[in-house]
Structure 1
Amino acid sequence: MTDTVVPVVTRSAELGENTLQSGECVRKSGVSPQHTPAKKIWFGRVSNDPGHRSPPHHHEECETGGYVLKGHGRIYFGEDYRDFIDMYEGDFVFVPPYMPHVEVNMSTTEELVWLTCRTPDNLVTNLPEIPDEALEGYRRA
């Protein structure tokens, strides 16, 4: 007898919380090795409360794709996190493997929500913290 793999639905109220996190970004998996038969993909919902951000981190060998569902996000990267890209509802973003970055909700009143897909899993390596003031244009709620 062989093991048969069938489609698996993760209901919105059952998103997996057993996934690596970085600071105030909340990652909940919909498809992942943690709770589905998936072996080479992590796909989930990421949210940041108004004005909140992640600490510096990278996702090891993972390629990361994101899609903004709601809000205004910014990803800081580069030397001393001086470079950044802004993202708005409907935008897609690609973050290369091992790229140190900080994910930020630029709104102080609205939640930032995006879908993220990563291969092979949601690997997170947190890096030394930096002060808010080092991030051009960022402010907390």
Structure 2
Amino acid sequence: MTKVVPVVTRASELDAQTAQSGDCVRKSGVSPQHTPAKNIWFGRVSNEPGHRSPPHHHEHCETGGYVLKGHGRIYFGDDYKEFVDLHDGDFVFVPPFMPHVEVNMSTTEELVWLTCRTPDNLVTNFDDVPDDQLEGYRRA
């Protein structure tokens, strides 16, 4: 019988060899790429002040997010005209195949999320949209 033990990924060992979207930087702590996990991707996602992702979706994955610090906004819907704002302590669920843009609304503070996705961090990026199409968004 194989011994089962917890697998720890130290803060200094987060894996950046995962799918990315523009200025939105994803680093996995638990993923099929570097742990025995088979059905979950769990990591830290950050956006520098004023940075955002291009439009993308996460294929058939269900995504849960938690804002550790900052003011995030997720644009979605026709021409990305709809949005939800998130602040420290907020959770969000993003359904599979939902095109969206993830934004750091602050031009001075980093945005940090914890993100959990099943079964893996799949990302399909789309053609970018102009900044002025995203209501209220501005770069640093």
Q: What TM-score, normalized by structure 1, do the two folds share?
A: 0.98
Q: How many residue pairs end up in the alignment?
A: 140
Q: Following TM superposition, where does structure 1 have runs of at least 4 consecutive aligned residues deviating by more than 4 angstroms?
A: none
SS in 2 for 1:21: coil
**Corresponding letter in the other structure for 1:66:** G
Name the residue aligned to 2:11.
12
Asked whether 1:91 is paired with 2:55, we answer no
Shift in CA distance, 18/5, structure 1 to aligned 2, threshold 3 Å: farther
Asked whether 1:130 is paired with 2:125, we answer no
Name the residue aligned to 1:64.
63
Any conservation in 2 of the 1:78–1:100 contact (CA below 8 Å)? yes
Q: Which runs of 5+ in 1 are unaligned?
A: none
1:128 deviation in Å?
1.0
Q: Which runs of 5+ in 2 are unaligned?
A: none
Q: After the TM superposition, which residues 1-141 of structure 1 pair with which residues of structure 2 at under 5 Å, given as runs? A: 2-141=1-140
**Corresponding letter in the other structure for 2:54:** P
1:125 deviation in Å?
0.2
Matched residues in 2 for 1:19 and 1:121: separation?
9
Matched residues in 1 for 2:80 and 2:17: separation?
29
Matched residues in 2 for 1:38 and 1:136: separation?
38
1:3 deviation in Å?
4.1
1:4 deviation in Å?
3.7
Matched residues in 1 for 2:74 and 2:40: separation?
22
